[in-house]
A and B are shown apart, each in its own frame.
Chain A
Amino acid sequence: MHPDPQIPDWMERLHSGKASQEELSRLGRNPAVDPVQLEEECRLNRLLDTLPPAPVASNLASRVLEAIHLEDQQAQRAARRNGWTSWMAWRPAWASLAIACIALVGLRLQSTQRSALAHNVLIVSEATALPGVDALADFEAIQWLESRPEPGDLELMAALTTP
């Protein structure tokens, strides 16, 4: 006689403690199943069935929801704190950046001033050399030079006055 193909299913139901009386008696009639073992399995099930349900608090759901709310609030607080602390953590970096910018601007300004100075020095150095200080001591010569009109000016005057 071939073993009943349903035996594995019945065994599964037997182990879960949900086998019906009919399934048990069919298992018992099957020669592939040891009746002593089957009886022991049933007794073990009865023994396990004597265990009472574990005590559960009647307000478990409320406690779970309260814990969830509390965790949410803590997470929000932590996020805010993290935002502030991260700004605080970045403060030295921001300060360093500002100092670097100021230094850069200062260097740039200094460089521009030096360029302008060099340019001015160049202009001055290219100018015609002034007469010596001794020449300035001869006041008469200076007065003569200042009172002496330029020849170009005289020609211009003559042209303007000619009708």
Chain B
Amino acid sequence: MPEPPPTPDTELMRRIRGGGSEGEEALRELITRWQQPVMNFIHRSLPDPAEAEDLTQGVFIQLWKASARYQPTARFSTFLFTLARNLTLNEIRRRARHPADSLDTPHPEFEDHPLRQIPGPQTEEPTEQATRSELEALIEAALRDLPEKQRTAILLCREGELSYEEIARVLDTSVQATKSLIHRGREVLKARLKPYLRSGTWTPS
């Protein structure tokens, strides 16, 4: 497959592969560029924000480790979201096997890690905030209840801004199957969120 022209991401990956302080600086830059889409993708699949963040951290650690075998034959985002999807799937499977475990509990070896710093909530009227929170919870639940492939396809399309072809590559399926996954997923979402879609307004229950 011909190598696509270098992009800022592939250039950063090349520097990461070199290792050392320059590699670390490049990784820092890459994290800054991609942390939000990766976090959004994982958070829409896992309900616990702390677990989602731990997994996001894990994605970038894997990225560092996998930098040596990274080949810029495809867009960087395809590579990154493949890692993110694999880690998320592993975590979902692990949770299915051990439902009581939580990544929120600090591992003894990582106890001295710096605590996560989350920006404070934005100021909003309490009722408005409650309505918004309820709506968000409803949408997030609808997304999480989708079959994994449909959810991943929809999230990669929206959060990762990947094309159908790139999504097909992440999901290891055909473009036609990807279109079908997105279509069916959106139909399920529309059915779940029908009251809002019909009226155009949201009335909290």
Contacts and interface: CB of A to CB of B under 8 A. Distances in A.
Interface of A: 12, 15-18, 40-41, 43-44, 47-48, 50-68, 70-71, 74
B150 to A, nearest CB: 12
Given A44-B189, A44-B190, A48-B158, A71 B117 contact: no
B119 A41 contact: no
Contacts of B116: 57, 59-60, 63
A66 B197 contact: no
A12 B40 contact: no
Contact of B40 (A15, A40, A53, A58): A53
B39 A56 contact: yes
Contacts of A59: 114, 116-117
Interface stretch (B6-14, B55-63, B70-78): B55-63
B148 interface: no
Most chain B CB inside 10 Å of its own CB: which residue of A51, A57, A71: A57
Contacts of A74: 109
B149 interface: no
B53 A60 contact: yes
Contact of B117 (A40, A58, A67): A58
B24 A50 contact: no
B79 interface: no
Interface in B143-184: 154, 157-158, 161, 163-164, 182
Contact of A15 (B39, B110, B186): B186
Q: Chain B: interface residue count, which band?
A: 35 or more
A55 B117 CA distance: 9
Nearest to A58: B117
Interface string B186-197: 100110010011
Contacts of B119: 55, 58
A5 B189 CA distance: 27
B113 A66 contact: yes
A33 to B, nearest CB: 14
B140 A61 contact: no
A71 to B, nearest CB: 7
Contacts of A70: 109-110
Contact of B31 (A16, A55, A61): A61
Contacts of B197: 40, 43-44, 47
B140 A64 contact: no
B124 to A, nearest CB: 11
A148 to B, nearest CB: 102
B109 to A, nearest CB: 8
B49 interface: yes
Nearest to A12: B164
Given A56-B53, A58-B117, A43 B27 contact: no
